[in-house]
Structure 1
Amino acid sequence: MTYADILSFALVATLLTLTPGPNGVLIARTVPGSGRLAGFANIAGFVTAFGLHGALSVLGISVLLVQSAQAFMVVKLLGAGYLIWIGVKALRAAFAADPQAGTPPPPRRRSLRAAYAEGVLTNALNPKVSMFYLAAFPQFIAPGETPVAGAFLLVALHAGIVAAWFGTLTMMFARLARATRSGAFRRWVNGITGLAFVGFGAKLATYRPNL
């Protein structure tokens, strides 16, 4: 694998990371209510899930998953259901206003373990991540190279890009701590993120891979 290959993959992975998706929405929902450390726990979950998808892709299990319509459907629907469930919870929080104060009640802070689990599940149940790796590995790993070492190098690079980008977002949201204490702001964040998660879930549920 040449430096040009690595830089090309980094560019593709960066563009994919910057594309709006459930990870960014999860960070935007977690940090205002649970703090910076919970946001970093989300990111640790992202990285863990990418490692899992990378390992499954290297072992060939993801190929079987993509080629098996029933297995792909099960994983896809589980992931879609999980995203929609998060979205519904956020929407309920947005409309759970205190009738006397006119603002939603203070959010319950997530434990680091819960935030980490949300980060893992948001990505582990998304078969698109495995499909990305399955498409990327043959493009950037030359014949004759050790495929396992090259594949995990690309996965580690992708995880590093994700950690850097969402770490920056986490710090940005943490700096807006004063604004996030506003009941109106929390209502707005819960409403927007709830709709976004429901939308991502519905999109995943109707997704059909091009095989």
Structure 2
Amino acid sequence: MDLATVLSFSFIAALLVMSPGPNGVLIARTVPTSGKAAGFANVAGFVSAFYLHGALSILGISIILVQSAQAFFIVKMLGAAYLCWIGLKALLEAWRGVAPAVGDVAPAKRRRTLLKAYSEGFLTNALNPKVSMFYLAAFPQFISRMDGALSASFTLVFIHSLLNLVWFSLIIMLFARLAGATRNQRFQRWLKSITGVVFIGFGAKLAMLKL
């Protein structure tokens, strides 16, 4: 795989990573309430799911999802249901919140364990068939017959994962620097309300996705 191919794929993958999506919303929801470590656990979940989708694509299982309407529908609806569940949970937390007597409250760092944050990041991507569709579309375009399919495919997955790590690390650090503002309970209720609506929107969009 030559440098031009790597740079071309990196450019396309970077646009995908930086475009608004469930991953960015999950980070925005996690860091203010659970801290940087939980945010990085989210990212670890993203990366794990990417390698899962990459392996499935290489083995050809993802082709079944694309060619089988029933299999695609099942995975799609599971992913949509999970995104909507996160959104509804965030809205419920916002609705249950009460206005604080003082301006700021202590950060709720124990509200989300690292394992839970990792699981949320993993499931958000593992149950999204659009990740498999991206790999299925990208692999034939950027892997030549001269390249080993296995090593070249995982090279592309590694690049995609690295771009996610760099981009979302910057986002995590940004939210951490704004921790003083984000600890305000009114801000947290507003953030949960917004992220809840956005997650439900992404879930609905995924549910309407067609082959």
Instruction: State the alpha-carbon separation in 2 of the partners of residues 152 and 62 from structure 1.
Output: 15
Distance 1:99 1:193, change over 3 A: closer
Give the residue type in structure 1 aligned to 2:62. S
1:66 aligned residue:
66
Matching residue of 2:145:
143
Which residue of 2 is the match for residue 175 of structure 1? Answer: 177
1:134 aligns with 2:123: no
- Determine the C-alpha separation between the residues in 2 that align with 1:195 and 1:127: 21
Pick which of 47-56 and 139-148 moved more. 139-148
In the TM superposition, residue 58 of structure 1 has moved relative to its aligned partner by 0.3
CA drift of 1:143 comes to: 1.3
| Equivalent residue number for residue 52 of structure 2 | 52
CA RMSD in angstroms, aligned pairs only: 1.6
Go from structure 1 to structure 2 and tell me whether the alpha carbon gap of 1:142 and 1:15 turns closer, same or farther (over 3 Å shift). Answer: same
Quick one: distance in 2 between partners of 1:199 and 1:60? 30
Q: Deviations over 1:51-73 (max 9, x none)?
A: 00000000000001110100000
Counterpart of 1:37 in structure 2 is: 37
User: SS at 1:172's partner residue?
Assistant: helix
Q: Within 5 A, what are the aligned runs for 1:108-119?
A: 109-119=111-121
What residue identity is the alignment partner of 2:76?
K
What do residues 99-134 of structure 1 show as CA deviations (whole Å, max 9, x unaligned)?
Answer: 78599x975620000000000000000000000000
Distance (Å, rounded) in 1 between the aligned partners of 2:100 and 2:12: 50
Q: Relative to 1, partners in 2 of residues 1:144 and 1:92: Cα closer, same or farther, differing over 3 Å?
A: same
Residue 97 of structure 1 deviates from its aligned partner by 2.6
- The number of equivalent residue pairs is 208
Cα deviation, 1:15-71, whole Å, max 9, x if unaligned, reads: 000110000000000000000000000000000000000000000000011101000
- Aligned position for 2:188: 186
Unaligned runs of 5+ in 1: none
Runs of 4 or more off by more than 4 Å in structure 1? 99-103, 105-108
Q: Is the 8 A contact 2:99 2:185 kept in 1?
A: no
TM-score using structure 2 length: 0.95
Helix, strand or coil: the match of 2:71? Answer: helix
Equivalence for 1:93: 93
